[in-house]
Amino acid sequence: MAVPRIETEMKIDVNGREYWLDHPLLVVVCMDGCADEYIDAAMSAGRAPNLTRFGAEGWRSMARACLPSFTNVNNCAIVTGTPPAQTGMVGNYILDPKTGNEVMTNSSQWLRNGTILAAAAKAGRKVAMVTAKDKLREMLSKDCDGIALSSEKAPEWIEKRVGAKPEIYSGDASLYVLEAGTELARSGDADFLYLSLTDYIQHSYAPDEPEAIDFVAGIDTWLGELDRLGARIVATADHGMNHKCDPSGGPQVRFLESELVAKFGDGIRVLCPITDPYVVHHGALGSAVVVHLPDPGLTEPIAQFLRTLPGITEVHDRDSAVRQLELPNDLCGDLTVLSGRDWVIGRRPEYHDLAQLHGELRSHGGRYEEMVPFFCNFRFEFVCNGASA
């Protein structure tokens, strides 16, 4: 079906940047945790013909996501067009500087600036935001007058149109997002869409396993449907994914709070920003943690000690985290610590229920999951500033 042409060009201003909404159907897909290896494996197997075509006729490259490379951090960065210094979103789990309590950030109250989605809706676009996990739905739909739904808690009206909601720990939870988005675009209920998937499959399977290839093939099919509707599409990811195990297949982990307290004394807290209500994927083990110290005098000795530990690749004090990682000064703790490609960092063993993991640990959060695939089905610039080629 032809998409109606929008006659008036719309320009919106969001967080100091201009966006031209000059295309009648704009779709951004965040393929959660979809390291380029997953796309590449499916393309090599001939199972991703649409992405392959986008790469040839449009654009394929890598983009730099924000650090720490976690879901909330980068979904917020994508929908606002700004780094964590401005979004205030530094992880799924933080120490609230106002109360000193450890809290989940699964709420729009933690998002400090406005979204492109809200601005587009205000400018008259029919915005739809569809996520897999319900935690993201509320956060990203902040102040947005449009459709916002998740496949996890799909409302009855969308179930009537695209079928019953899937299990959240499944590839179908993501494919349902794409199917719902395609239905909203096809029916004309939405013309400006943000579709955010979940990374259960990438956490559970290596890129060349059949389950992973089938999953990317499923994503590819829906991208093809959106392309046929005439959508201008960008498909990217919030972070990559790596196998975090030693050669025997066991998780390669440093329990940093245990190590630091043993050496430097009580009162040191290590927060794992990957912690969220959905722990089956990763046991709350990722490749970035935030260290809070009882005494600022400990910062330098602890930083020096951390740099000597195998698996630890970067140690940033507050100044360095603000300058190099673009983190907000009040939320980055005393030290931000990243681990290497094959390593994760935990808190203490009792905080991590590894028995819940399905298969070997695959996770993210560090520098090695920072670069993500970036596909456009059009030639060039980016989605809201696209040249009308």
- Contact set with Zn ion (CB under 5 A): 32-33, 71, 199, 238
Q: Identify which of residues 270 and 372 has a Cβ nearer to Zn ion in the complex.
A: 372
**Closest distance of CB 367 from Zn ion, Å:** 16
Q: Identify which of residues 192 and 278 has a Cβ nearer to Zn ion in the complex.
A: 278
Q: Identify which of residues 119 and 371 has a Cβ nearer to Zn ion in the complex.
A: 371
Q: Identify which of residues 238 and 317 has a Cβ nearer to Zn ion in the complex.
A: 238
Distance of CA 377 to the CA centre of its chain: 21
Q: Identify which of residues 125 and 367 has a Cβ nearer to Zn ion in the complex.
A: 367
103, HSE (Cβ side, Cα atoms, 13 Å): 15
Q: Identify which of residues 31 and 302 has a Cβ nearer to Zn ion in the complex.
A: 31
Q: Comparing C-alpha atoms, which of 326, 329, 377, 291 is closest to residue 64?
A: 326
Which residues have C-beta within 8 Å of that of residue 371, sequence separation ≥ 6? 36, 62, 63, 64, 65, 240
Q: How many CB atoms lie within 10 A of CB 340?
A: 18
C-alpha distances out from residue 144 to 116, 121, 126, 339, Å: 9, 6, 10, 36
**Closest distance of CB 71 from Zn ion, Å:** 3
**Closest distance of CB 159 from Zn ion, Å:** 25
d(CA 147, CA 141): 8
**Closest distance of CB 238 from Zn ion, Å:** 4
**Closest distance of CB 266 from Zn ion, Å:** 33
Residue 10 tokens read as 């719309």
Q: Identify which of residues 6 and 206 has a Cβ nearer to Zn ion in the complex.
A: 206
Question: Are 223 and 217 spatial neighbours (Cβ–Cβ below 8 Å)?
Answer: no
H helices, E strands: number in the chain: 13, 19
Residue whose C-beta lies closest to Zn ion: 71
**Closest distance of CB 244 from Zn ion, Å:** 15
Question: Are 73 and 370 spatial neighbours (Cβ–Cβ below 8 Å)?
Answer: no
**Closest distance of CB 74 from Zn ion, Å:** 7
Q: What is the dihedral of CA 316, 92, 176, 60, to 10 degrees?
A: -10
**Closest distance of CB 274 from Zn ion, Å:** 9
Q: Identify which of residues 125 and 282 has a Cβ nearer to Zn ion in the complex.
A: 282
Which residues have C-beta within 8 Å of that of residue 69, sequence separation ≥ 6? 238, 239, 240, 287, 288, 364, 365, 366, 367, 369, 370
d(CA 357, CA 245): 13
